[in-house]
């Protein structure tokens, strides 16, 4: 298996996560850097949240954007009208590019879904030229996402059988402090730096929070839908109570933190 991501269509992705990855993209570009004239590789582009933000920031020469999911590649192609951007299906662990072809390789919210993240980081290093830069970011699912953690903790309290699913969501390759930087160091990058990027996930009301979660990508949506109606109802009621916290339904805002690491390919 080359991807642990469960995809359920581009529109479903955008309402569940794309709306937040679009907010994260400019912060990630600030950290990763970008310059006019560069050839950029984006790994795990999904529906294009980062891809389409890149030409808005610099007059890039070309972007090759790959994703494992054909349905996302197709949706991104349909949205694209920039001849410098090419979307292709591809695997982060086995890039179809020759060594040193790119000035910059970027990957946003992907490596925690890749079964062999070390290999994916090594591939980023291989395809970036000496002196070029690679950067990646992943959500801090364990400690940096109170709004999503609220869902998992409530679910596991109401339905103890969900405990192992919560663990699988919270603890994934590269998603804890220093793991990304360690992977970059191991792959031979120089000048490795790590930081935390944060956005806020803003919801208009409980339905805006809950419906995309229920319909969304990921094994949790299929799991919820497989539960008996009465159990699911108890879960909805408990999660709603956590969302409302005794106040009328309406907007809520939760911080969401991502780890990010960047490194330079050594010149010798």
Binding site for ligand SAM (CB under 6 A): 2-3, 5, 7, 17-18, 21, 43-46, 49-50, 66-69, 72, 91-93, 108-110, 113-114
Least distance (Å) between residue 82 CB and ligand SAM: 17
Beta strand pairing status for 128-139 and 252-264? antiparallel
Of 123 and 159, which CB lies nearer to ligand SAM in the complex structure?
A: 123
Residue nearest to ligand SAM (CB): 46
Least distance (Å) between residue 131 CB and ligand SAM: 25
Question: Rounded to whole angstroms, how far apart are CA atoms 95 and 64?
Answer: 11
Least distance (Å) between residue 44 CB and ligand SAM: 3
Question: Within its chain, how far is the Cα of 60 from the centroid?
Answer: 23
Burial pattern 161-199, b for ≥16 Cβ within 10 A else e, equals ebeebbeebbebbbbbeebbbbbbbebebeebebeebeb
Of 45 and 235, which CB lies nearer to ligand SAM in the complex structure?
A: 45
Of 106 and 192, which CB lies nearer to ligand SAM in the complex structure?
A: 106
Question: Rounded to whole angstroms, how far apart are CA atoms 198 and 139?
Answer: 9
Nearest to 79 by CA among 22, 16, 40, 5: 22
CA angle 184, 186, 192 (to 5 degrees): 35
Of 88 and 163, which CB lies nearer to ligand SAM in the complex structure?
A: 88
Question: Rounded to whole angstroms, how far apart are CA atoms 230 and 266?
Answer: 58
Least distance (Å) between residue 110 CB and ligand SAM: 4
Least distance (Å) between residue 223 CB and ligand SAM: 18
Least distance (Å) between residue 143 CB and ligand SAM: 18
């Amino acid at each position: 298996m080359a991807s642990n991501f469960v995809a359920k269509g581009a529109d479903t992705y955008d309402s569940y996560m794309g709306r937040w990855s679009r907010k994260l993209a400019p912060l990630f570009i600030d950290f990763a850097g970008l310059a006019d004239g560069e050839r950029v590789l984006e790994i795990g582009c999904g529906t294009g949240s980062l891809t389409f933000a890149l030409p808005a920031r610099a007059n890039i020469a070309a972007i090759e954007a790959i994703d494992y999911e054909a349905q996302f590649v197709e949706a991104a192609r349909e949205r694209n009208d920039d001849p410098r951007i090419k979307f292709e299906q591809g695997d982060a662990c086995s890039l179809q590019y020759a060594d040193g072809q790119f000035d910059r390789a970027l990957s946003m919210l992907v490596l925690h879904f890749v079964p062999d993240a070390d290999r994916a980081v090594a591939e980023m290093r291989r395809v970036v030229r000496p002196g070029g830069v690679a950067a990646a970011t992943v959500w801090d699912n364990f400690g940096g996402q109170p709004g999503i953690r609220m869902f998992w903790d409530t679910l596991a309290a109401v339905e103890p059988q969900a405990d192992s699913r919560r663990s699988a969501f919270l603890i994934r390759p590269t998603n804890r402090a220093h793991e990304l930087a360690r992977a970059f160091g191991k792959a031979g990058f120089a000048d490795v730096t790590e930081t935390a990027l944060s956005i806020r996930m803003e919801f208009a009301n409980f339905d805006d929070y809950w419906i995309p979660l229920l319909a969304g990508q990921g094994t949790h949506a299929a799991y919820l839908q497989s539960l008996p109606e009465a159990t699911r109802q108890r879960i909805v009621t408990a999660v709603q109570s956590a969302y409302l916290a005794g106040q009328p339904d309406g907007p809520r805002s939760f911080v969401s933190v991502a780890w990010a690491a960047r490194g330079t390919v050594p010149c010798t």
